[in-house]
Amino acid sequence: MSPLDDWVVDAAGALDLDPALLDVHGVLDLARDVAHTIARPAAPLTAFLVGLAAGCNGGDPQAVRLATEKVLALVAARTRTDG
C-alpha cells in the first residue's frame, strides 16, 4: 500500500467510514480540476463542500458522485465563460 492508501484507511477508520466506499481518484480529479480552473485554495474547500453536501443527502457513494458532478459542471461553465 502507498502512503496515500494507508492515510485513507486510517482517516476513514478514525471517522467511522468504510474506506472501500471512497472514490480516491474521483476526489483527487475533482481537486485537480478546481485547483487548476478556479484557484488552488478552492480545491480542499470544494472537496469539503462535496463531502458536506453528500452527507446531507444520504452520505452514500451515489450522493458523493452527484455532488461531484454538480461541481464539475459548475467548473466547466466557469471555464466556458472565462475562456
pLDDT tens per residue across span 27-69: 999 999 999 999 999 999 999 999 999 999 888 889 999 999 9
Q: What length is written for the chain?
A: 83
Please tell me the pTM assigned to this model.
0.84
Asked if residue 82 has pLDDT above 80, the reply is no
Residue 83: what pLDDT? 59
C-alpha pair distances (Å), 27 with each of 5, 38, 51, 73, 81: 13, 16, 10, 15, 24
Residue 61: what pLDDT? 87
SS (H, E, C) the chain: CCHHHHHHHHHHHHCCCCHHHCCHHHHHHHHHHHHHHCCCCHHHHHHHHHHHHHHHCCCCHHHHHHHHHHHHHHHHHHHHHHC
Assign 11 a pLDDT band (cuts: 50, 70, 90): very high
Residue 34: what pLDDT? 97
